[in-house]
Structure 1
Amino acid sequence: MTSYTVAMPLLDEARREIQATGCISLKTASAIICSKTSIEELYALAAQPKRVDAFYPVKLPNPKFPPISVTGTWCQAGCKYCGGYFLRHMHPAKSPERLWEVCTKLAERGAKGFLISGGYTREGKVPILRFLPVIKRLREELDLSFNIHTGVLSYQEAKQIAKARVDVASVDLIASNTAIKELTNLSITYGDYEKTLENLEKAGVPYAPHICIGLYYGRLKGEVNALRILSRRSFQTLVLLALVTSRRIPMKKASPPPVDKVAKVMLAARLMFPDKRLVLGCMRPGGQYRKAVDQAAVKLGVDGIVQPAVKWSYSVIEACCALEPQE
């Protein structure tokens, strides 16, 4: 990726675009992301910090929005940045009957909704369709909320999800074929993700695209393309993540993306989509890194942060960040 030194001309151009259209162009967003300028200099482009939603979906002892895997720890994707590790932290429910049991039991303990996820098939799909009747019944009978992690979808599959009346569908948007090929065993391209967003939109399913910054070994690859794809879509919430590394995953030697790169992608997204909800999601490193990223997020005007590591004026919400907060 080419780097640029962002001087006053680019800052002035960004301001002109914002004044004329209310947002910046993809070209300017790309220049910001690729720039060598410190993020502190770029804060001048951001709106004034505001009150931020703080999401705590799995706050103990009784999480209000726990995650469930419909495949247990099974996954064919073999992603180097996960290796099935993150599925181990979800409640397993590998049959519709078991999903009903798990959800009703957790609802008795105070759960208000669930993230329904699972492992991928090689075609990039989470095998969730046979669980949709149970999800619909749980929504109607117990008034529970659902965020489902779908993977790649056809239009017919998206219509089935629409009939289940889920609250939101979360879709990982990996917008680099190189990243998909090198990091996963999936037989898909980024065009399949792009088509999935289109199919959800046509079917009338609310969706929240997720972009993991630095997914490619901690380096940027595809983030600008992801913003290009989203510039053509009608979404309400964009969730930004940052690569989490661990000795328990195949890509354990990779480092998280530099904080300033994460901040620049956040800024580009904020300025490209000023009318959309922009949320810093749960998947991001901890410690001082997390504090630095969260501090930047507040200064850049994000709408929400999952389990924030910095003090600020927050509206606390015990739910998944992809859902629209209730008034």
Structure 2
Amino acid sequence: MIPARTPEDLARLADELVADGARGMLLSGGSDHRNVVHYEPYFPTVRRIKDQYPHLQIAMHTGLATPEFARGMEDAGVDVAMMDVIGSQDTITQVYHLKRSVDDFEASLEALVSTKMKVVPHIVLGLHYGKLLGEWNALEIVRRHVPDALVLVVIMPHYAPSSRPFATPETREIGKFFIDAREALPDTPVLLGCARPSGMHRMVTDTYAVMAGLNGVAFPSDGMLALAKHLDRDVRVTPSCCSMVVGEEVLALTSGESGSVVLDYVPSAPKRRMSIRDIPVVVAN
């Protein structure tokens, strides 16, 4: 990511990005010990950027947000708000080391969806050192507040320090969660984000995502487009962050101005040693 350590830096960066043809911008940053990202000094600059470049889609990855903070984002012209929803108090305390509660995360999501922004919460699978612990409670929180879309990502253990290693979540359990998420949010776009383990784990995870009926997969593995076409699904490719795709694609398919490419023809999946029989079947309970 490109640093913008002052509002002035952000304004200059926006000018450069737009001049280079950028269609969107994702703002992120470090949080404090209360899991709050202090964007307030940047809000006036974000407003000026949005007024100057109304076509530029602005997404903001926020930590916990109060109603006042959410309205500040909205007033600044933020198009898409993102936050992680954590459903386990043990994970908040032991992994994030925060003195916050599950209720604080739900209240933050409630504050965001009360605005006119598109809200795209994320659930990180395996967040408790590789174990799925509070993910189903997080899904229930999301279901109660009906955001514009939900993005699922999977913990990537190789980023963990050796002193606190993370296990790699089982793909079978991930597949079960995909099915549960699809059933819990039948009318809400559910997408698989870019963060997930690599290699064969990624291929199996992506296969489960397509088979479960998720609406999108960021950087799909080889063969996933062919699989989707085999299942008679429309396949579109959009050069955008998955959360921004929600604003451009999933929620505005009829606009005709999203910049996506509709694939009428997808070549067959490349031959690999693994066959579909090697992937365990996930059955919903």
Common fold by TM > 0.5: yes
Q: Which residue of 2 aligns with 1:126?
A: 37
- Partners of 2:169 and 2:159 lie apart in 1 by 17
Cα distance change of structure 1 residues 135 and 289 upon mapping to structure 2, 3 Å threshold: same
Q: Which residue of 2 aligns with 1:197?
A: 109
Work out which of the residue numbers 144, 154, 161 in structure 2 matches 1:242: 154
- Partners of 2:2 and 2:162 lie apart in 1 by 23
1:27-106 superposed matches below 5 A: 90-106=1-17
Residue type at the aligned position of 2:214 = V
Residue type at the aligned position of 2:181 = A
Q: TM-score, normalised by structure 2?
A: 0.79
Q: Which residue of 2 aligns with 1:28?
A: none
- Partners of 2:34 and 2:220 lie apart in 1 by 34
Tell me if structure 2 keeps the 8 A contact 1:147–1:167.
Answer: yes
Cα distance change of structure 1 residues 138 and 301 upon mapping to structure 2, 3 Å threshold: same
Tell me if structure 1 keeps the 8 A contact 2:123–2:135.
Answer: yes
Tell me if structure 2 keeps the 8 A contact 1:279–1:303.
Answer: yes
1:105-254 superposed matches below 5 A: 105-142=16-53, 143-246=55-158, 249=161, 253-254=165-166
- Partners of 1:210 and 1:235 lie apart in 2 by 11
Q: Which residue of 2 aligns with 1:69?
A: none
Find the residue that maps to 1:207 and give its secondary structure: strand
Structure 1 consecutive aligned stretches of length 4 or more whose deviation exceeds 6 Å: none
Residue type at the aligned position of 1:320 = C
Cα distance change of structure 1 residues 322 and 232 upon mapping to structure 2, 3 Å threshold: same
- Partners of 2:137 and 2:75 lie apart in 1 by 31
Q: Percent identity?
A: 32
Q: Which residue of 1 aligns with 2:177?
A: 265
- Partners of 1:219 and 1:248 lie apart in 2 by 14
1:317 and 2:229 aligned: no
Residue type at the aligned position of 1:138 = I
Tell me if structure 2 keeps the 8 A contact 1:240–1:280.
Answer: yes
- The structure, 1 or 2, with the larger RCO (C-alpha pairs under 8 Å, 6+ apart) is 1
Residue by residue over 1:250-281, the C-alpha shift from the partner in whole angstroms, topping out at 9 and shown as x without a partner, is 66632221001111111100011110000000
Which stretch has the larger CA shift, 185-194 or 288-297? Answer: 185-194
Which stretch has the larger CA shift, 198-207 or 164-173? Answer: 198-207
Find the residue that maps to 1:246 and give its secondary structure: helix
Cα distance change of structure 1 residues 149 and 225 upon mapping to structure 2, 3 Å threshold: same
- Partners of 2:156 and 2:18 lie apart in 1 by 30
- Give the C-alpha shift of residue 205 in structure 1: 2.7
Residue type at the aligned position of 2:165 = K
Residue by residue over 1:56-104, the C-alpha shift from the partner in whole angstroms, topping out at 9 and shown as x without a partner, is xxxxxxxxxxxxxxxxxxxxxxxxxxxxxxxxxx111111101111222
Residue type at the aligned position of 1:125 = V
Cα distance change of structure 1 residues 247 and 139 upon mapping to structure 2, 3 Å threshold: closer
Cα distance change of structure 1 residues 174 and 251 upon mapping to structure 2, 3 Å threshold: farther
Tell me if structure 1 keeps the 8 A contact 2:160–2:166.
Answer: no
Q: Which residue of 1 aligns with 2:214?
A: 302
